[in-house]
Amino acid sequence: MQKIVIVGGGTAGYISALSVAFNGRDKDIQVEVWEDSSIKPLLVGQATIVNLPSFLWAALGVNWYTNELNASPKTGILYEGWGKKQPDFFSSFALNAVGLHFCPWDFRELVRKSGFVIFKDQPVEDISTVDADWIFDCRGMPKDMKGYQNLISPVNSAILGKPKNCFDDRLWGKAVATPDGWTFEIPTSQDSRSYPYSVGYLYNDNITPENQAGFNFKDLFDVDISSTIKFPSYFNTEPVKGNVFSNGMRLSFIEPLESTSLETYLVWANMCCDIMWNSLDIRTASYVLGRMMKEIEEYILWHYAFGSKYDTPFWQHASSLMPANSELNNIGKEFEGKVWMDIATDIDHKEFGLWSFWNIQMWHSAMV
């Protein structure tokens, strides 16, 4: 029997555990999650694109009738004030695809009830002390950034708020341009533990001081401030060391525009399963991960490249970060005027990062 231990009980830890249990369901394995009960999962509401919901349906049978996850459907993202061409743009998913908005605590409890994994209250300081055939290190953001590569992002801080007026009947997320960056609104039930953190004001504290950002947040949005966070953007250039896989914030982090993090963690967890059981070469997997992270970086920067309705120091900086030789502009031009089916059936073209060329064409048409 192979023993596989996931160290860390956050959302990425449970995604890793579920991926291993599901992909290894015909194998002789024991999957354990070791978590430190004194460290609570983040309460910020989570948003996905379309692959994670399909996986949860396949692995756990989650559906909209019983909705054990207490999730709300995400049919796309409404961008307000981005670019110069139009005031609003709805970046939609196909009608037969849907993302999710959910609370990390609800996801944690759902996986725990599944019976797929064994749970232990077992804090781990030194990952080398874990005795297992394979280990997933999901202990959160590393303290030492050796072996990590920075990703370019115009934002590095967020102020989280509780909305005074609930918008949980909305079937899409919102990304609202502000003078200092942008703000997410995640439709979250007032009964959810994530509700006090369902609005987030993203900004760069090297451009806007925290007190000014907080004042602007409350002035522009009807919220009570809950907490503040500061974050780097990065990815691990050594995601596999011996029998230890990094995942979650040990693997990567970049700002939440386009909801890339959870999808990245699922893609990587599935690749790790291929390494363990299907002879995927570690160097190949690491290369694919690195390329995907750089494409995610570029796609997010592309959103800023067209500016916003604000001509401020933040937007002047953010719109200058896009690489001049970006492939994205060429992709958008190539498919200009074509409908979804033309692009979806073009067998010579695949994805860029986590997105189909259809998503790229939509954004290009809306901005240019």
Does the pLDDT at position 114 exceed 60?
yes
Q: What is the dihedral of CA 336, 340, 343, 347, to 10 degrees?
A: 180
- The confidence band for 238, taking pLDDT boundaries of 50, 70 and 90, is very high
How far, in whole angstroms, is CA 10 from its chain's centroid? 13
Cβ contact 305:319 at 8 Å: yes
Question: Does residue 136 surpass a pLDDT of 60?
Answer: yes
- 181-185 vs 173-178, strand pairing mode: antiparallel
Q: Where are the domains of the chain?
A: 2-294, 324-367
- What's the maximum distance between 2 C-alpha atoms anywhere in the chain? 60
C-alpha 314: how far from its chain's center? Answer: 23
Residue with tokens 């890793």: 16
Cβ neighbours of residue 172 closer than 8 Å, sequence gap 6 or more: 74, 75, 76, 77, 78, 90, 187
Q: Is it the case that residue 5 has pLDDT exceeding 60?
A: yes
pLDDT value at residue 176: 98
What digits encode the pLDDT tens for the residues 44-59?
889 999 999 999 999 9
Strand, helix or coil at 43?
coil
Q: Is 315 left (phi over 0), alpha (psi -120 to 50) or beta?
A: alpha
Predicted confidence at residue 345, as pLDDT, reads 64
What is the signed CA dihedral for 183, 189, 194, 199, rounded to 10 degrees?
A: 10
Tell me how far apart the alpha carbons of residues 47 and 269 are, in angstroms, rounded to a whole number.
18
What is the amino acid identity at position 293?
A: M
pLDDT at 328 > cutoff 80? yes
Q: What is the pLDDT of residues 255-281, one digit of tens each?
A: 999 999 999 999 999 999 999 998 899
SS3 116: coil
DSSP H helices in 221-258? none
Tokens 């390494």 correspond to 275
d(CA 226, CA 224): 6
Long-range CB pairs of 88-93, under 8 A, 24+ apart, other chains included:
89/363, 89/366, 89/367, 90/172, 91/359, 91/362, 91/363, 91/366, 92/362, 93/49, 93/50
Task: Just give the CATH number of 2-294.
Answer: 3.50.50.60
Q: Give the tens place of pLDDT for each residue, 199-227.
A: 999 999 999 999 999 999 999 999 999 99
Sheet with strand 76-80: strands edge to edge: 88-92, 76-80, 173-178, 181-185, 199-203, 157-163, 223-230
Predicted TM-score of the model (pTM): 0.94
pLDDT for position 201: 98
Which residues neighbour 77 within 8 Å (Cβ) at sequence distance 6 or greater? 90, 91, 172, 173, 174, 175, 258, 259
- Rounded mean pLDDT of 328-335? 79
